[in-house]
Amino acid sequence: MKLFKFLGTIVLASLVFSCNSKKTVTKESLKTEVDSVSYALGLDVASSIGSNFEEVNSELFLAGYMNAMDSTNTILDKAAAQTIIQMYVQKNQAKMMQKQQEAAAKELESQFGEVKVAGETFLTENKSKEGVKTTASGLQYIVEKEGTGEKPTATSTVKVHYTGTLIDGTVFDSSVERGEPAQFGIGQVIKGWTEGLQLMSVGSKYKFFIPQDLAYGASPRQGGPIQPFAALVFEVELLEIVQ
């Protein structure tokens, strides 16, 4: 233990010294196996830290290193330390993923900006038409037939008939044409459907005009007829609340 503490002291002194002057190391410096292992450990630790941590308080990093070498003066036990590191890494990974998604969305918006503008223009003009109602989220709808049954909740499973079209009237999906109703959980579909279906009573038939951010946004099914940022129109008949 004293040997490790002694080595730790050397490492600490070297690191502190390196803040003011970086020592040049060459292959000739690796004279023994211990030399090679020591240098490799340094590379490995630095690589791990650099890939997972944006910044490190070097003073506390070195204090933690020395405390671990001493093994009698740690202010965190091993489990707590691992938990802190894991939570920090997970948080940073989530931030990185969000940045990547935002960058990808911006790239797509530059490619499909006209689609987004066309949808916004369509909805702006549509909301002033007779019978069109607009919710706080921006969802627009027309009541074509009002039912008398119960209304589903966010956790309900429903059976519906529907026809989905682009704003130019192109049909991209239709349970009516297939001759078979669709069944799904209300919380498993796009936001516009989740909100809109809860407005309906069983037996109702509504027409929904759904903004892109309540539809598929930047991520429609690849290769399908729906382009990124497309506003959509659905005619939906609520047949049954299954559960």
The predicted-structure confidence for 149-163, as pLDDT tens digits, reads as follows 999 999 999 999 999
- Which among 11, 46, 75 is the end of a domain? 75
- Which among 75, 96, 126 is the end of a domain? 75
Maximum distance among all alpha carbons in the chain? 87
Question: Among the options 65, 167, 173, 184, which is catalytic?
Answer: 173
Distance of CA 45 to the CA centre of its chain: 29
Q: Is 229 noted as a catalytic residue in this protein? A: no
Question: Among the options 61, 70, 190, 213, which is catalytic?
Answer: 190
69 lies in some domain: yes
- Using alpha carbons, select from 178, 210, 180, 216 the residue that is nearest to residue 197: 210
Question: Among the options 216, 226, 229, 241, which is catalytic?
Answer: 216
Question: Among the options 39, 61, 65, 172, which is catalytic?
Answer: 172
pLDDT value, residue 22: 54
Q: Is 216 noted as a catalytic residue in this protein? A: yes
Q: CB of 237 within 8 A of CB of 208?
A: no
DSSP state of 200: P
What percent of the chain shows pLDDT beyond 70? 90
98 lies in some domain: no
C-alpha dist (Å) from residue 64 to 46, 60, 61: 15, 6, 5
- Which among 75, 104, 138 is the end of a domain? 75
- Shared domain for 129 and 71, answered yes or no, is no
Q: Is 226 noted as a catalytic residue in this protein? A: no
- Shared domain for 12 and 119, answered yes or no, is no
3-state secondary structure 133-186: EECCCCCEEEEEECCCCCCCCCCCEEEEEEEEEECCCCEEEEHHHHCCCEEEEH
- Using alpha carbons, select from 99, 47, 64, 241 the residue that is nearest to residue 159: 241
Question: Among the options 122, 208, 229, 234, which is catalytic?
Answer: 234
Q: Which helix (H) or strand (E) holds 109?
A: helix 78-126
Q: Is 168 noted as a catalytic residue in this protein? A: no
The predicted-structure confidence for 122-138, as pLDDT tens digits, reads as follows 999 999 999 999 999 99
pLDDT value, residue 130: 96
Average per-residue pLDDT in the chain? Answer: 87
Q: CA-to-CA distance for 103 and 107, rounded, in angstroms?
A: 6
| pTM: predicted TM-score of the whole model, two decimal places | 0.64
- Using alpha carbons, select from 53, 22, 54, 27 the residue that is nearest to residue 39: 27
Number of neighbours of residue 7 by Cβ within 10 angstroms: 13
pLDDT band at residue 109, thresholds of 50, 70 and 90?
Answer: confident
- Shared domain for 142 and 27, answered yes or no, is no
Provide the residue range defining the domain that includes 45: 2-75
Q: Is 184 noted as a catalytic residue in this protein? A: no
- Shared domain for 63 and 121, answered yes or no, is no
**What are residue 133's DSSP bridge partners?**
141
91 lies in some domain: no
Question: Among the options 162, 206, 208, 209, which is catalytic?
Answer: 162
**What are residue 182's DSSP bridge partners?**
160
Q: Is 53 noted as a catalytic residue in this protein? A: no
Q: In total, how many domains does the chain have?
A: 2
The pLDDT of 87-105, averaged and rounded, is 87
